[in-house]
Amino acid sequence: MSVEDYIAQAEAEGLHIEAGFRRLLAAAYPMGVGEEQYNDVRKFFFAGATHLFTKMLMVMDDDREPTDNDMAFMARIQAEINTFAKTLHND
């Protein structure tokens, strides 16, 4: 199964974090990695996703519409991701 097929399968199954991890792995390590490095990178990726998801749940209330503060929080996350993405192009 190709990387693209695996990503599509993961997305179809609702495994969005796994699909994102596979995209990262393909982009950052096009020649592949060993089992130990694969496991480590996957743990770090999922730890980051867990942290972000938890933080979002802590900030957002599900019983009301998003506030200006909620939207500012999301904008700061987007800005942080954009800043990080720019560093990838410098490597």
Q: Which H or E run includes 35?
A: helix 35-59
Residue 38 · residue 25 · CB < 8 Å: yes
Instruction: Look up the pTM and report it.
Output: 0.76
The residues, ordered by sequence, that sit 6+ positions from 38 with a Cβ below 8 Å of its Cβ are 25
Q: Which residue has the higher pLDDT, 87 or 21?
A: 21
Q: How far apart, in Å, are the Cα atoms of 83 and each of 7, 9, 22, 24, 42?
A: 25, 30, 21, 17, 22
Question: Tokens 């998003």 correspond to what residue?
Answer: 66
The residue count of the chain comes to: 91
| pLDDT for the residue numbered 34 | 96
pLDDT digits over 37-57, tens only?
A: 999 999 999 999 999 988 888
- Segments making up each domain of the chain, as ranges: 1-53, 60-91
